[in-house]
Structure 1
Amino acid sequence: MSNREVLGQAARLASTGLLLQVVFRLITFVLNAFILRFLSKEIVGIVNVRLTLLYSTTIFLAREAFRRACLSGGAQRDWSQTLNLLWLTVPLGIFWSLLLGWIWLWWLERPDPNVIPHYGTGVVVFGLSAVVELLGEPFWVLAQAHMFVKLKVVAESLSVALRSVLTAVLVLGLPHWGLYIFSLAQLFYTAALVLCYVGYFTKLLGSPQSAKQQALPVSRMADVLPSIGRGRAFLNWKEAKLTWSFFKQSFLKQILTEGERYVMTFLNVLNFGDQGVYDVVNNLGSLVARLIFQPIEESFYIFFAKVLEREKDATRQKQEDVAAAATVLESLLKVALLTGLTITVFGFAYSQLALDIYGGAMLSSGSGPVLLRSYCLYVLLLAINGVTECFTFAAMSKEELDRYNFTMLALSSSFLVLSYVLTRWCGSVGFILANCFNMSIRITQSLCFIHQYYRGSPHRPLAGLCLSPVLLGAFALSAGVTAVSEVLLCCAQGWPARLAHVTVGAFCLGATLGTAFLTETKLIRFLRTQLGASKQAGATT
């Protein structure tokens, strides 16, 4: 597959993923807003912080390193060895589920059973759901490696939407079930997710002609299961060593990603009610990151991993590949910067209104608006970091990954300390400030790597982080106008004033985007080119 074809597939994967996720996430968004009006802050805190942390930690530690390592290999590989390696995620998941479940049950503070019943059942079922999800890991990697555009997004989004529907029905019909509701919904979600993958591949491999057209390395479902071949090793040990390198990095990355939840869970800096408010605001603030940045990061990580060779710098590779990677990286940085700035500028003036619409007075009063405004700044850093690390992790050699782990270790330690100190000083906002600090350090590390990587070549992809003065002026003017509009029109003056505030924001947003369209001509040409490549890739698949 040529670079253009790979890029077209990656662009189509990102754009299609974005579109489908928006549709399903909007459904989930509405359902969650409905559910929040029937729940206490305490149960939201237990489910969304304590139990979800158990599930996400188990999943992350069991599979993240395997995913990155197995997606980094070239086309010429023994897929039976790769699949054998991926099946190791299941026993590893069982180990982490049992260990973490024991800690959650016996080490951590247990909630009052009169306020939040069935906590033990929730721990057991959330741990079990993590193991169930790992059963679909080989199918997920096969789908990603062969760029099955719609499967991942449809499977995940549909499962999330069905979980929200089930939760809403049970909350209305059987509210006394407590944590049974969320435990059942979580297990249903993971089972539905795995069944989507298994069902798709069962149908695909049941048609030999279709499987042949997709150039799959397996021809029947039995080929996906673990196998021992004569005359070859059970595992590809180079892949296994790379997995170990990624595992050390993933362990530290998990602390950075979920650090505030670990501090809340193990150090008890916030009560369960405050944890619930913080988590809802955090999920709302990260909605754009999940909808836009995550599909882009996952899709273009595959592009960079396929185009670049890990053990060589830019001067020792095919210059066509290096140029393509540089062009894509520069454009992705520009997209991330523009998206992040837009969210930061307009998020400050519309945070309180968004929280009031989404969750009512429970969110829009108190610390909620300040939290969301702070999170808007964090989203800007999150956007840039997603793109820079996407490239960095795809281009680093094994030795560089190992060295990077030491940096991540220092970041993890400093983040935990800083989170604790800042939270004691300024409440839950301290978590976001600590995240901003650590994200800035991670961005700096990645920028240094990218600069060093392209130092001997004529390409300068970091130019994507520069905007024209005219566009920066448009952002600054929009920030000032919407801030004044919020003071005069929102949010206690009723819905006519609120609608006027929204109208002002829409006008400023349109003017800013129009300025971007006129000033960022190079980016517009790139996006048009990739849209054409995406359509062409879609026509050939």
Structure 2
Amino acid sequence: MGSPQDVLSDTTKLASSTMLLQVLFRLLTFGLNAFTLRYVSKETIGIVNVRLTLLYTTVVFLAREAFRRACLSHSAQQSWRHTIHLTWLAVPLGIGWAGILGWIWLRVLEVPDREEIPHYGTGVLAFGVSAVLELMAEPFWVLAQAHLFVRLKVIAESLAVILRCSVTVLLVLVWPHWGLLIFSFTQVLYTSLLTLCYVLYFAQFLGSTEAEKKSFPLRSMKDFLPQYSASQDFVDWKQAWLAWSFFKQSFLKQILTEGERYVMTFLSVLSFGDQGVYDIVNNLGSLVARFIFLPIEESFYVYFSKVLERGKTVRNQRKEEISSASEVLESLLKLVSLIGLIIVAFGYAYSQLALDVYGGEMLSSGSGPVLLRCYCVYVLLLAVNGVTECFTFASMSKEDVDRYNYVMLGLSLTFLCLSYYMTLWLGSVGFILANCFNMGLRIGHSLLYISRYYRGSPYRPLTGLLPSPAVIGALCVSAAVTAYSEKFLCCDSGWSYRLAHVLVGFVCLAVTLAALVLSENKLIHFIRSHFLPKSLQKKA
């Protein structure tokens, strides 16, 4: 492993590239949803984006999440042969989950009317198969992520998403009556191309001069296949038990992550049409969370895992590494909390306008704007939770992970109960409020862990959660001015008034960003040093 600064440089490069990738993903799906809203019924969108996508994400998450976390944890004695064996276990596990959950989706859950939404069974089969196809790329993904192959992830996922979106638009235009068949075909196409890209990349990379220069541990494609040996165990049992701990945790985390979809799917608290509208608003509200916060969480989990020795206290870590980790954690908390606060401050005044532009009156009337405003608060909590949990999970010992499983169990049960009753009471807004409550509890647990972890040391990374007074003042003024602007300029007036409302928002945002640049010097230096390309760093 290189020095902490080398790892940090590679990690921030990975995070920056992944953010750009997620921007592309979200813009494409953003446009795709806006397009399909005009050609496909909201019931079909509800089935695809809630019911079938939940099947796919559940199979993939339960089959691979635990192995990913265990295999990416830093260990001086890590054997890549054992790691590859462990990652291949995700495939049979995925086949098992796909079979069990596919049967539940077909035989236990409410099946949509065949006349209104045909080919539901084909959709379940296709989304289950696509999950297994993606799991076959897992050994390649883990090796690529561990060695910070930025270009591979960007190219593979970009090509797969662009192809899926292009084919979907084409089929919806030509054969819109195919309905679920279109989305089933493009889902299988997406995961097939994604897996193929990883396989072809490593087929070209292994044995090359670049591989030798990087001292890559594998020499040929055969090394990616399981190899039995009588002289050693098939897997590293310490790593396997860590994966088992993460598996128990991942099952609970999946309930927390996709809880509202499980409630909608299993308890039928919303119709398929209402599920479609909720999912569209949810996707719109989660744009920033997906293309900024998620890449930061995934990339810096790798960073903290490489820099910190799992289970060791601050005193037992190397001074250079713990100092670097503390500075990075503080800067990340400052970065994501400021982005989240900006979203909260401006989200209130621009939610209705955003929904009206995106989906018309179907989204901007009724509970849509209230739902999006509540989601802005949830985005702030998502931002803080992502960073605090990626540090927590990277530094926890196996025993700590096991204990946290009980916490997750309590949170999962609480969330499911809250989601059900609050949805009956408040409709789809209840989902967001239940999410906010549980996310707040998760943040509280992580903050308590981090505080105890750094107790007795000179490091105080949690101060990153406190913005400067100048930024807080600018945010408060901006929220008040834009709310006043919305009342008089938007959204029942003409487009000239709406543009004036947008202009007011731009001015307020510029003032807020100016206050941020002038008062948050440490954060600006962190962004310039690690997130900007070198050519821009020199100019800055």
Deviation at 1:76, TM superposition (A): 4.0
Cα distance in 2 for partners of 1:365, 1:415 equals 28
Deviation at 1:303, TM superposition (A): 0.7
Deviation at 1:35, TM superposition (A): 1.6
Cα distance in 2 for partners of 1:290, 1:467 equals 23
| Corresponding position of 2:46 | 45
Cα distance in 2 for partners of 1:74, 1:152 equals 24
Cα distance in 2 for partners of 1:535, 1:235 equals 41
Deviation at 1:470, TM superposition (A): 1.9
Q: Give the gaps of 5 or more residues in structure 1.
A: none
Deviation at 1:64, TM superposition (A): 0.4
Deviation at 1:230, TM superposition (A): 4.5
Deviation at 1:196, TM superposition (A): 1.2
Cα distance in 1 for partners of 2:468, 2:265 equals 44
| Corresponding position of 2:394 | 394
Deviations 1:347-401 (A, max 9, x none): 1111111112222222112221111111001000000000000100000000000
CA change 1:229–1:78 in 2 (3 A) is farther
| Corresponding position of 2:293 | 293
| Corresponding position of 1:234 | 234
Deviation at 1:136, TM superposition (A): 0.3
Contact 1:65–1:250 (CA under 8 A) maintained in structure 2: yes
The within-5 A match list for 1:69-468 is: 69-74=70-75, 76-205=77-206, 207-468=207-468
Cα distance in 2 for partners of 1:315, 1:435 equals 36
Contact 2:40–2:179 (CA under 8 A) maintained in structure 1: no
Deviation at 1:218, TM superposition (A): 0.7
CA change 1:212–1:312 in 2 (3 A) is same
Alignment TM-score, normalising by the size of structure 1: 0.97
Cα distance in 2 for partners of 1:172, 1:531 equals 40
- Aligned length in residues: 535
Contact 2:385–2:439 (CA under 8 A) maintained in structure 1: yes
SS of the residue 2:506 aligns to = helix
Contact 1:25–1:157 (CA under 8 A) maintained in structure 2: no
Cα distance in 2 for partners of 1:75, 1:24 equals 36
SS of the residue 2:6 aligns to = helix
Contact 2:75–2:309 (CA under 8 A) maintained in structure 1: no
Deviation at 1:311, TM superposition (A): 2.0
Provide the identity percentage.
64
Deviations 1:226-248 (A, max 9, x none): 11134111101011000000000
Cα distance in 1 for partners of 2:366, 2:160 equals 33
Contact 2:74–2:309 (CA under 8 A) maintained in structure 1: no
Deviation at 1:24, TM superposition (A): 4.3
Deviation at 1:204, TM superposition (A): 0.8
* Counterpart AA for 1:58: V
Are 1:17 and 2:18 counterparts?
yes
Are 1:523 and 2:536 counterparts?
no
Deviations 1:12-31 (A, max 9, x none): 11112212332343233223
| Corresponding position of 1:513 | 513
Contact 2:336–2:383 (CA under 8 A) maintained in structure 1: yes
Q: CA RMSD in A?
A: 1.4
Cα distance in 2 for partners of 1:78, 1:441 equals 37
SS of the residue 1:215 aligns to = coil
| Corresponding position of 1:59 | 60
Contact 1:340–1:380 (CA under 8 A) maintained in structure 2: yes
* Counterpart AA for 1:46: I
Cα distance in 2 for partners of 1:116, 1:23 equals 30
Contact 1:59–1:93 (CA under 8 A) maintained in structure 2: yes
Alignment TM-score, normalising by the size of structure 2: 0.97
Cα distance in 1 for partners of 2:74, 2:414 equals 33
Cα distance in 2 for partners of 1:368, 1:150 equals 38
SS of the residue 2:455 aligns to = coil
Contact 1:263–1:416 (CA under 8 A) maintained in structure 2: yes
Which contiguous aligned blocks of 4+ residues in structure 1 show a shift greater than 6 angstroms? none
Deviation at 1:411, TM superposition (A): 0.2
Deviation at 1:208, TM superposition (A): 2.7
Cα distance in 1 for partners of 2:202, 2:226 equals 16
Cα distance in 1 for partners of 2:200, 2:492 equals 51
Please identify, of 76-85 and 19-28, the stretch whose mean Cα deviation from structure 2 is larger: 19-28
Please identify, of 125-134 and 146-155, the stretch whose mean Cα deviation from structure 2 is larger: 146-155
Deviation at 1:158, TM superposition (A): 2.7
Cα distance in 2 for partners of 1:126, 1:151 equals 24
Deviation at 1:51, TM superposition (A): 0.5
* Counterpart AA for 2:349: A
Deviations 1:439-487 (A, max 9, x none): 0000000000000000011000000011122211110100011111111
Q: Give the gaps of 5 or more residues in structure 2.
A: none
Cα distance in 1 for partners of 2:48, 2:529 equals 44
Deviation at 1:531, TM superposition (A): 4.3
Deviation at 1:286, TM superposition (A): 0.8
Deviations 1:279-336 (A, max 9, x none): 1111111111110011111111111001111121111211111111000000000001
Contact 1:334–1:465 (CA under 8 A) maintained in structure 2: yes
SS of the residue 1:455 aligns to = coil
Contact 2:304–2:395 (CA under 8 A) maintained in structure 1: yes
* Counterpart AA for 1:332: L
